[in-house]
Structure 1
């Protein structure tokens, strides 16, 4: 028997195969999940969404609230044995900030970022603001993972080719098969924080030797493998197969992310027909949340409809735009198309075929648009191809697109700064590239005020603009159960599936 076979290994099936390994160049959740395995973050959010120190020992603000000083905790090492330095962190923040919408806002609000000594750096702001702390604690979208400077100096338009972090696991490159499997081993040099693990914060204690992510051909294969003990953990239980999984006495089924997911529709502002505001509005009126959620989830105990862009029950929940977002209004859509002079330009919808959480939204959207009078062309492809294709700014005839649908964890969409989909700075925005300067002005105002009442007011104004301009369409909120065999214990509630704190007997 090989050494690898004698080691304690968690075999897991994730929601998607892993192919893209650079967590700074994509918002794809599977790449983010990979990031949390091998990298670490300076700050983190706990299960109550409170910001905690992670790689930093502490931070402090200057008396005028414009400068924040961050000091790294002792003993941090990269996987190659080198010490983590403030210089590494500054380089990592700079690369991350070019790609992340909250990072871009942070950069625009900074007057400078400098290394003080080997373990200390500072960020200075134009105005008093805690934006630096909020940004460095951002848990998802593009999370600010730390890398050695030589890797972080890779241009952000170019994927990194070395995967060296300081996190609790190391990637076993020799066993990586893109789209098939990825293997991680315990980082024996990692020193967890002393605090108990909570959400993405606290002590990341690895209690197994290895974690293997295995791709399966379909949902039923995954469920059967879990039932038979061939795998230990299923990140997302297919909703239609949940009764089968629940009936197995050897399996625990649980929602590990109580904040849940939001599913959204995104239109391309650059090209016809959605370079016309009225046609964007028509598309939004055409689509109703209930049909989408029924197709994606089915079981009402796992979903809810609501108008909120920033979460149904979050601190910035709003009813602005409810007449557009919740129920379909095909008659209104038809009226807007007529007013806009829609000429039958086909709407190309990207339809992933291999990822259950995003397979069905495009089908429902397509049906709704056809009913409203749109000409629709569905283009089927795997999810990783969608992830690549949606970055193309060229016209449809040159490989572009008009609509795609995706999901956000609410932890990455719970306020106007984290929610990368509401950024509206043209070609600097997320895929779809909306250009709405007033949204950007309000996001800056939100970042600068410490007054929570004012923040709620700004969030409501932003939501109104997001819906009116067609920046994105929230299509409802839902909650995804995970499943794991009773041989595992210690799975954490978190917006990201994490494998520290889990024991296997």
Structure 2
């Protein structure tokens, strides 16, 4: 999806309970064409687009829930950013849901189904001018934590400040759509701190409207505006670089104190009005987060449910492989679990700059030992084998299995050898890179064995997990195959295809790790992204998915992963966040 550092950069495996998290926002169909105004189509993949009535607060009550008490959150790591403009990783968004608000957001039902609704806005916006113009109207009664009014000027400022030099982590969809300058969007504007505004954003404070005049059509722009990168920020409360440590809240909670890498306490934001919020509940009096607790330790604490751990949840780390069978086979423990499929696809990127022969890349797909890898992750409970670029939640995605991975998930060394022989590449050296982690230290063994059996000469390169993504994102890296993964910001294929396979996404720090540079891929991406009929768009993206895997084979799909969570026995309302693959904190409450 984006050209920026975000929720995307992947999470470690469910079983591995690794460091970062795939994330996703979901997107919607915004049909319509020409110059007439339209609200767009009403469904988009597994997400529906809500009405103004759906956007009206308060959020639906949860059966059996009551106000009071504290929910405790456990995690290995602190939130790396709290300034919404610097939030792009899923884990950070779990905190943002409690603190920040955007024009739109996702209303999650008890069954996990979602509606895109107006959050700060009265509805999901009105599109005109063939997707180049979008207008939103703010709700009345919106306030910041200090009691000051939240206005359309704050929404505008939240976007304009993304041009500041100290913000480099945000999503870039809106910036690119507004300027039409692609990766050079920063050249179009110097930011708001010298008193200048973007002419493409028009606000009317009296009417509470904000209009975006885009340089590029974006039929699903209302989904883009649900990303936390585009949350409102008051110019009066903006402390610039310092804002990342103590941002002003307009959500149901605010920060009371935060000790970096140790703990953070949230308390009620008394100036948040539930009548303005159709998405969030606020049953607990507050949240106390403790950082630095490894996943296995936190899981054991949640299983035991002693003291405050009875009121605790794991914020974003699922049950590790070492405990999954215990949790799923104990009836009492299983009652205290929830699970969900992670949005997106885990895969191995093949460096096409180094592995230039298509038959060699196809042979790698044939040889890869998916079954053995999944067994290390925890078996079938850890997820489903992947055979496509697009994950099952993507609009229009079609299932195919070009390399026979569902028939022979253990790998097909004979077929791989045949391709290598045809290419004259028998014994070719393949450098495999992966983040050092107890789980990946095990999967590297079965991968090495499978490559040897298929006629490759594997060279194994473990990389420190803290620098892994930086190293593989270098254009001149020395790796042939790299463990990776991607989650879309909303369920359209553009949010996977553009960042992963567009030539413009090749560069140090960018996400086209396979370094795919194919003109017909670039052209098809640009053609598909402006199709306003999302059913036709979905079919076009599905065709591109299959063609890329057949004619380029730049990746080896691995898993559509499932994550299980266990929580304390005094926690109510705990459920899976379908956008960020985490605990949906604002649904939790303390049981009587």
The bucket for the TM-score relative to the shorter chain is: 0.7 to 0.9
Q: Distance in 2 between matches of 1:242 and 1:163?
A: 37
Aligned to 2:516: 434
CA spacing shift, 1:413–1:127, aligned 2, 3 Å? closer
Q: Relative contact order (C-alpha < 8 Å, sep 6+): which is higher? A: 2
In the alignment, structure 1 residue 227 sits paired with structure 2 residue 285: no
Gaps of 5+ in 1: 1-6, 197-201
Aligned to 2:323: 241
Aligned to 1:316: 396
Contact 1:282/1:337 (<8 A) preserved: yes
With structure 2 as the length reference, what TM-score do the two structures score?
0.67
Q: 1:266 aligns with which of 339, 343, 349?
A: 349
CA spacing shift, 1:213–1:137, aligned 2, 3 Å? same
Contact 2:299/2:566 (<8 A) preserved: no
Contact 2:70/2:287 (<8 A) preserved: yes
Q: Distance in 2 between matches of 1:184 and 1:333?
A: 55
- The size of the alignment, in residue pairs, is 475
Contact 1:489/1:502 (<8 A) preserved: yes
Contact 1:361/1:405 (<8 A) preserved: no
Contact 1:40/1:55 (<8 A) preserved: yes
CA spacing shift, 1:473–1:250, aligned 2, 3 Å? closer
CA spacing shift, 1:28–1:402, aligned 2, 3 Å? farther
CA deviation vs aligned residue, 1:398-452 (integer Å, no higher than 9, x gap): xxx554434555x647321232654423326515143334334333333322324
CA deviation vs aligned residue, 1:184-210 (integer Å, no higher than 9, x gap): 3333332335565xxxxx234352312
Q: Distance in 2 between matches of 1:26 and 1:330?
A: 43
Q: Distance in 1 between matches of 2:159 and 2:448?
A: 40
Contact 1:265/1:406 (<8 A) preserved: yes
Aligned to 2:74: 13
Deviation of 1:53 (Å):
0.9
In the alignment, structure 1 residue 131 sits paired with structure 2 residue 220: yes
| 3-state SS, counterpart of residue 282 of structure 2 | coil
CA spacing shift, 1:212–1:218, aligned 2, 3 Å? closer
1:49-448 pair list within 5 angstroms: 49-58=114-123, 59-62=125-128, 65-79=131-145, 83-93=149-159, 95=162, 99-100=170-171, 102-103=173-174, 106-107=177-178, 113-118=200-205, 119-125=208-214, 129-137=218-226, 144-148=230-234, 163-177=247-261, 180-192=262-274, 202-220=279-297, 222-229=299-306, 230-231=308-309, 232-234=312-314, 235-246=317-328, 247=330, 249=332, 252-257=335-340, 262-269=345-352, 273-274=354-355, 277-298=358-379, 300-312=380-392, 314-320=394-400, 322-323=402-403, 326=406, 327=409, 328-337=411-420, 339=423, 341=425, 347-353=431-437, 364-372=446-454, 373-382=456-465, 384-396=466-478, 401-408=479-486, 412=489, 414-419=491-496, 422-424=500-502, 425-427=504-506, 429-432=510-513, 433-448=515-530
| 3-state SS, counterpart of residue 545 of structure 2 | helix
In the alignment, structure 1 residue 460 sits paired with structure 2 residue 515: no
Gaps of 5+ in 2: 1-67, 182-197
Deviation of 1:364 (Å):
4.6
Q: Distance in 1 between matches of 2:376 and 2:118?
A: 40
Q: Distance in 2 between matches of 1:389 and 1:148?
A: 37
CA spacing shift, 1:88–1:437, aligned 2, 3 Å? farther
In the alignment, structure 1 residue 477 sits paired with structure 2 residue 477: no
Aligned to 2:532: 450
Deviation of 1:57 (Å):
2.1
Deviation of 1:68 (Å):
0.9
| 3-state SS, counterpart of residue 257 of structure 1 | strand
Q: Distance in 2 between matches of 1:128 and 1:317?
A: 22
Aligned to 1:199: none
With structure 1 as the length reference, what TM-score do the two structures score?
0.78
